[in-house]
Amino acid sequence: MAEGLATTHEHPAHHAALQHHFENMEQQREAGTLGMWVFLVTEIMFFGGMFLAYTLYRYQYPVAFATASNHLDIRLGAINTGVLIVSSFTMAMAVYTTQIGKRKGAILCLILTMILGATFLGIKAVEYHDKYRDHLIPGRLIPGNPFNPDVHALHLPVGVPVGNVELFYWIYFAMTGMHALHMIIGLGLMTWLTIKTWRGRFGPEYFAPVEVSGLYWHFVDIIWIFLFPLLYLLGRHLEGHIR
Amino acid sequence: MIFLALMLGTGLTVMAAFYDFPGPLNVVVALTIAVVKATLVVLFFMHVRYSGRLIWLVIFAALFWLGIMFALTISDYWTRTWMMPLGS
């Protein structure tokens, strides 16, 4: 704050979105961004716990994890990674177009981002269905369809207990499921942003909600950037070695 | 630019996954690419490159605590078996 604490600050015409406890729009925006980052940090710790669980169990049961991992569809996983990166790009463009006051461009970018997000979830649903078909949903979550890798395609190497392969799928569904939930929340946020943008609530002076939602969306992208190699790729090079 | 770099990284990591590097290098390569991609997203898409010190502080604090969580837990599991010959 350049003017400091002193003086009589006269009140110029306030922006309608300025809350009374902030000096000006700039301060309000900075506080909002910082708050969002603090929230994202708690999210990092939340997902971090699951990444840690993955690390420990992969360290303990490398062969079981490689076997289970190699059954995932690398093509769908890679396509989804691309889809999410493009959606992060369109989201960044949505923030930019809002900042420079191009309302129609912003709406277009938001809708594109939502379409890409929905595409990701659709592909994920196809993958989940494949797992369901192959009896790879862990435990007895689905009545009448218990975990049973023998039914389809997944041949266990000698000496690897079924439970260890199942463990991989617990972690797979927990992590991708939490990630998908975050995507669904993100789609909800963007629907709300699109409506508000449509009504002309955002512009060069006030775009914090778009920016902060963008941070959230990019964070969800980052989680996937780590999930994809960890769940789909590591173990691929061992394919020839596991008997 | 950043977008193209991210796509390139994705292609690279898929290709590298099928190549059998010696020892634990596959993990190192995959995670290095992931970290580079994540850093690009944080710096440019999330505008951290142009943000104030406070944001940097929050991020580094998070990574620091995440590091503590991983380091302490892994050091436990890693060293558990060291005492086996004495015990058994």
Q: What is the pLDDT of residue A3?
A: 46
Of A30, A41, A225, the CB nearest to B37: A225
Express each pLDDT in A227-240 by its tens digit: 999 999 988 877 76
Express each pLDDT in B3-13 by its tens digit: 888 888 888 88
Question: Has residue A160 been placed in a domain?
Answer: yes
Express each pLDDT in A174-202 by its tens digit: 999 999 999 999 999 999 999 999 999 99
ipTM value: 0.86
- What's the pLDDT band for B87 if we cut at 50, 70, 90? low
Count of structural domains within chain A: 1
Residue matched to tokens 């490398």: A62
Contact list, A226 vs chain B (CB under 8 Å):
34, 38
User: Mutate which of B14, B51, B57, B64 to disrupt the A interface (most A C-beta within 10 Å)?
Assistant: B14
Question: Has residue A36 been placed in a domain?
Answer: no
| B45 CB within 8 Å of a chain A CB | yes
Express each pLDDT in B28-45 by its tens digit: 888 999 999 999 999 988
3-class SS letters over A7-52: CCCCCCCCCCCCCCCCCCHHHHHHHHHHHHHHHHHHHHHHHHHHHH
Task: Give the domain CATH number at A193.
Answer: 1.20.120.80
The parts of chain A modelled with pLDDT lower than 50 are: 1-4, 6-7
Report the distance separating Cα A134 and Cα B44, nearest Å. 41
Q: Where are the domains of chain B?
A: 1-50, 52-88
| pLDDT > 70: percent of chain B | 94
Q: Supply A1's token pair.
A: 């704050």
Nearest-by-CA chain A residue for B5: A85
Range of the domain at A56: 49-238
Question: Has residue A166 been placed in a domain?
Answer: yes
Q: What is the pLDDT of residue A195?
A: 96
Question: Has residue A5 been placed in a domain?
Answer: no
